[in-house]
A = this chain, B = another copy of it.
């Protein structure tokens, strides 16, 4: 020691200080799955006001733990990289054993991975699979951060009962791409995604699980997805 001034790395202090706040931890843990979440949802997750959340999120981005991206008036945040997730897990590892993670919780988590609503549209394994299928059938195609609905797609979806409401492709946020945390792939969002999802509930192909964003594919749905879209292996 002696001459050694191991006051090394103000950096690691900064990082640890950044992590060492209850509200910020709550947000970070919410993001641990890899999903992007908007500021508002993170505020709710941490049970703090939007102002406070904004302040925290700014710090987390400046500290290099998060990155952000605008989607319209929403600002989405996600972990800056796998190292961040790794560090959080390493901290979990020395945190005293968690208060009884119930089996029910684990089940709910599995359900969330499989299918869930993301606000108003469909996400999870099913959301991604359906989106893939729509692309495969050339009903939609990628275009920057959006999807474009093809003429064939428009006809097909209208026939299916979706309120496509006029304009085919170019309106802003008509058919957004939304990054899926569980699948790490994009699924269909935007007003078209919402309308399609609405229709799926209407047809009772899908139903909500109680008290959750998770979604179940019904008997009818399983058949329907196969017959209408050639989507097998659903459930």
Residues of B within 8 A of A212 (CB): 1-4
**Bound complex: CA of A41 vs CA of B25, how far in Å?**
32
Residues of B within 8 A of A106 (CB): none
With contacts A2-B212, A7-B26, A16-B25 taken as known, whether A83 is within 8 angstroms of B87 at the C-beta atoms is no
**Bound complex: CA of A190 vs CA of B6, how far in Å?**
26
- Whether A49 is near chain B, meaning CB under 8 Å from some CB there, is no
With contacts A1-B44, A6-B29, A211-B3 taken as known, whether A94 is within 8 angstroms of B22 at the C-beta atoms is no
0/1 interface trace, chain A 40-70, chain B, CB 8 Å (1 if under): 0100111100000000000000001100000
- Whether A233 is near chain B, meaning CB under 8 Å from some CB there, is no
- Whether A137 is near chain B, meaning CB under 8 Å from some CB there, is no
Contact of A9 among B8, B29, B46 (CB under 8 A): B29
Taking a contact as CB atoms under 8 Å apart, the answer to whether B94 and A64 are in contact is yes
- Whether A13 is near chain B, meaning CB under 8 Å from some CB there, is yes
**Can you tell how many copies of this chain the complex includes?**
2
With contacts A2-B211, A96-B64, A213-B1 taken as known, whether A91 is within 8 angstroms of B29 at the C-beta atoms is no
* Chain B minimum-CB-distance residue to A112: B8
0/1 interface trace, chain A 115-139, chain B, CB 8 Å (1 if under): 0000000000000000000000000
- Whether A142 is near chain B, meaning CB under 8 Å from some CB there, is no
| Beta-carbon contacts under 8 Å, A155-200 to B | 179
Residues of B within 8 A of A111 (CB): none
Residues of A bordering B, CB below 8 Å: 1-22, 25-26, 29-30, 41, 44-47, 64-65, 80-81, 83-84, 86-98, 179, 211-213
The 4 closest A-B pairs by CB, nearest first: A20-B20, A11-B95, A17-B20, A16-B20
25 A-B pairs with C-beta separation under 8 A: A1-B41, A1-B44, A3-B211, A4-B45, A6-B26, A6-B30, A7-B47, A8-B29, A9-B95, A10-B22, A10-B98, A11-B97, A11-B98, A12-B92, A13-B21, A15-B94, A15-B95, A16-B20, A16-B91, A17-B20, A20-B20, A81-B94, A84-B94, A86-B93, A87-B91
